[in-house]
Amino acid sequence: MSQSTLRRWGPWLALVVLFSIATSLLSWWQFNRRAERVEKIDTVIENYDSALASLDQVPWIFSESGEPANEWRPVEISGTYIIEEAVLVRNRPLNGQSGFVQLVPFKLDDGQVLMVERGWLPTGQEFTEPQSNPMPSAGPHSLIVRLRASEADLQRDPVPGQLASIHPENLSDALIGAGPLILDYYGRLAAESPGYSEAPMPMPKPSLNEGNHLSYAFQWIIFGIMAFVAFGWAFRNERRIQKELLGEREPRKPKNTQALQDAVFEDANQ
């Protein structure tokens, strides 16, 4: 390869290599996201409909990847709601409609406090409050809840009576004296006794759809390959044109298309 050819095509080749490295990294990222999603789906499949157990029989442990091994496990608990410290968690859409979830502290019989997500509430006309917010009574209750990992603290500005995420530690000051607050997880309500005719809407089973991560990963791989194919085609095409101009090879004959036939016919009749 001559120096002039190298100077002309070297930067383009470097650009293609950089582009392919970028697409490879993006593909690897999508593969990782799919693996994480598949692991979460497997946890739902394994735990969601597993046998009912008491809370002390389901330790909060983690898998080798760092995911909660017992998330979505149904457990039976008993105690009383601390209704005066109930809060709403905002920005919780469901089926395309904006809303809230109701989060109520629940004091267990052993003295610990578990945050219980009782269900979903649609927004009212002002979008800053739900249409209604039916609360449970203060008496003893027996609940079946599914364990969920606590969400990250979003560090949003505080709003009275509302949270931006289900991060139990944000309620630790309000619950001082109520008992040890469980911070690592909370419970999503599946059933409660006594029941209520007016209550938040139960949350649906999580989706088992793994999304488009796999197709996106393959698309990024194809884009990287196509960059090299396009570079090779452009390089060979220019070399062919140069050889035709230097007389080192015969010019390529144009394809016998209908447009070419019409042009030849018009030239012949002028």
Neighbours of 130 (CB within 10 A): 20
Q: Is the peptide bond before 59 cis (omega within 30 degrees of 0)?
A: no
- What pLDDT, on the 0 to 100 scale, is given for residue 235? 79
Arithmetic mean of pLDDT, 168-177 = 90
**244: helix, coil or strand?**
helix
Arithmetic mean of pLDDT, 177-188 = 93
**pLDDT band for position 29 (50/70/90)?**
very high
- What pLDDT, on the 0 to 100 scale, is given for residue 186? 96
Q: Are strands 74-81 and 87-89 parallel, antiparallel or unpaired?
A: unpaired
pLDDT at residue 250 is higher than 80: no
- What pLDDT, on the 0 to 100 scale, is given for residue 13? 84
pLDDT at residue 268 is higher than 90: no
- What pLDDT, on the 0 to 100 scale, is given for residue 264? 54
Q: What is the pLDDT of residues 54-91, one digit of tens each?
A: 999 999 998 888 889 999 999 999 999 999 999 999 99
- What pLDDT, on the 0 to 100 scale, is given for residue 1? 53
pLDDT at residue 261 is higher than 70: no
Q: What is the pLDDT of residues 221-244, one digit of tens each?
A: 999 999 989 888 887 887 776 766
- What pLDDT, on the 0 to 100 scale, is given for residue 257? 61
**Long-range contacts formed by 28-37: CB under 8 A, 24+ apart:** 28/217, 30/213, 30/214, 30/216, 30/217, 30/220, 31/213, 31/214, 31/217, 33/211, 33/213, 34/210, 34/211, 34/213, 34/214, 34/217, 36/65, 37/210, 37/211, 37/213
Q: What is the pLDDT of residues 90-140, one digit of tens each?
A: 999 999 899 999 999 999 999 999 999 999 999 988 778 898 999 999 889
More confident call, 9 vs 189: 189
Mean pLDDT of all residues belonging to the chain? 87
- What pLDDT, on the 0 to 100 scale, is given for residue 254? 60
CA atoms within 13 A on the CB side of 182: 24
195 vs 189: CA distance, rounded Å: 12
- The identity of residue 149, as a single letter, is A
Q: What is the pLDDT of residues 199-223, one digit of tens each?
A: 999 999 998 888 899 999 999 999 9
The domain segmentation of the chain, as residue ranges, is 18-30+212-268, 49-193
Arithmetic mean of pLDDT, 142-159 = 92
- What pLDDT, on the 0 to 100 scale, is given for residue 155? 87
Arithmetic mean of pLDDT, 28-46 = 91
**pLDDT band for position 251 (50/70/90)?**
low
